[in-house]
Amino acid sequence: MKWLRLFFLHPVSFYQGAAFPFALLFNYLCIMDSFSIRARYLFLLAGGGALAVAAMGPYAVLVFTPAVCTVALLCSLAPQQVHRWTFCFQMSWQTLCHLGLHYTEYYLHEPPSARFCITLSSLMLLTQRVTSLSLDICEGKAETASGIIRSRSSLSEHVCMALPYFSYLLFFPALLGGSLCSFQQFQARVQGSSSLYPRHSFWTLSWRGLQILGLECLNVAVSRVVGAGVGLTDCQQFECIYVMWTTAGLFKLTYYSHWILDDSLLYAAGFGSELGQSSGEEEYVSDADIWTLERTHRISVFARKWNQSTARWLRRLVFQNSRAWPLFQTFAFSAWWHGLHPGQVFGFLCWAVMVEADYLIHSFANGFIRSWPIRLFYRTLTWAHTQLIIAYIMLAVEVRSLSSLWLLCNSYNSVFPMVYCILLLLLVKRKHKCN
């Protein structure tokens, strides 16, 4: 059981696992109606504070500070101004923290602290909740908090009125990972009675536990294969394709298992699939749609299904508000949000080009492929090509540094995105001629 021990020795997995009993306790107390609404908010907020201090140590202040400042902005600004100011402040704060990571890695050439990396990950998730909440307020979907600070109420009344916002930004089931939960869904869960009963919860969580078990078994098997072979620095010609594919497979298995664990923690606390139905909002989605991700032959579908809640958040925040080049603006912002490492900038911009090519290639192919044998061959070929392009992008994003990125670009692996780039140019030229 060494591999299982290694999984739970991963810092985030360990702290997420430690939070499980408290998530189940919160859900149980809600079922028994033993909690007032204010006590529920306080329980989630106190749990978030305790988890942040335990996982991040002194770096927890980097998460607490923007949360407090965001609530102050929400409570003092008009609804039309909230989003602009909170977005600018939160992204500026997050960028400064990422620059600290750049300084440590690229200037001092030192490995960053594990606690600091956890803090940055939590800060990125906080940015999602901050911007989601500010957009909801601007669009009239959430109750405005403006006027709380200007009112003549006592300090304790101010804090009580701002408590739902503090609790939403720092609630412990979503502090270190998990799908984005909107403020309306959060309120509906806290203020309503739980529909998650112990027997149903046990079987669902047991099934997810088995999924994590299976993914970790595969993870160990693939890691042994990767460890026994050569890396990108030593591979030659077509061997580099195999190295890229196996290494990307290892990254994907790690993401899948962590996403299921994060989703299970949210589910254990009652923040599950019933939220979207009960609040009338967009249905809650899990980040790990493994079946779709592994069988799709379209890069655009993979982009929408990979980390689904983040993809929806990016679409709402950037894509729908962009007047020119929305696709490229969305992927460029994603690179900024992830930290602007060289590999991330290259990887996300490459992904944008591949998605644009994907739209044109498949719309062109669907126009003349009629017989099912040719269509089956076409789907098989494009599935393999999609998986290899995704592996290429994933390695670029994960290796991050310029030296590793240079090795990847100089390998035979660059053939796969280059094919799509050439097809994109030809189809764009053809489209202009037809017009």
Say if residue 6's pLDDT is above 60: no
The chain-wide mean pLDDT, for the chain, equals: 87
Whole-model pTM: value is 0.91
**Residue 288: φ, ψ to 5°:** -100, 80
**If we measure between CA atoms, which residue out of 388, 141, 80, 105 comes closest to residue 252?**
388
Separation CA 143–CA 132 (nearest Å): 13
Q: Two tokens at 62?
A: 């980097």
pLDDT at 2: 36
Active site residue 338: yes
Report which of residues 166 and 368 the model is more confident about.
166
Separation CA 397–CA 373 (nearest Å): 36
Say if residue 388's pLDDT is above 70: yes
Secondary structure of residue 288 in the 3-state scheme: strand
Say if residue 396's pLDDT is above 50: yes
The gap between the terminal CA atoms of the chain, to the nearest Å, is 62
Active site residue 297: no
Burial of 148 (0-12, 13-18, 19+ CB in 10 A): buried
Burial of 251 (0-12, 13-18, 19+ CB in 10 A): middle
Say if residue 1's pLDDT is above 60: no
**Least-confidence region, from 221-225, 250-254, 333-337:** 221-225
The tens digit of pLDDT for each residue in 50-64 reads: 999 999 999 999 999
Q: State the average pLDDT over residues 148-168.
A: 74
Report which of residues 176 and 280 the model is more confident about.
176
Secondary structure of residue 195 in the 3-state scheme: coil
* Residues 6 or more apart in contact with residue 214 via CB below 8 angstroms: none
Say if residue 278's pLDDT is above 70: no
Between vectors from CA 397 to CA 287 and to CA 314, what angle results, nearest 5°? Answer: 45
**Residue 307: φ, ψ to 5°:** 55, 65
C-alpha distances out from residue 173 to 180, 213, 269, 401, Å: 11, 21, 7, 32
pLDDT band for position 79 (cuts 50, 70, 90): confident
**If we measure between CA atoms, which residue out of 254, 248, 302, 308 comes closest to residue 276?**
308
Say if residue 253's pLDDT is above 90: yes
Secondary structure of residue 156 in the 3-state scheme: helix
Determine which one of 258, 297, 338, 341 is catalytic. 338
Report which of residues 279 and 236 the model is more confident about.
236
Instruction: Evaluate whether 283 touches 277 at the Cβ level (below 8 Å).
Output: yes
Determine which one of 83, 98, 258, 307 is catalytic. 307
Share of the chain above pLDDT 90, in %: 57
Q: State the average pLDDT over residues 176-181.
A: 91
**Least-confidence region, from 7-11, 87-91, 158-162, 282-286:** 7-11
**If we measure between CA atoms, which residue out of 367, 350, 369, 334 comes closest to residue 419?**
350
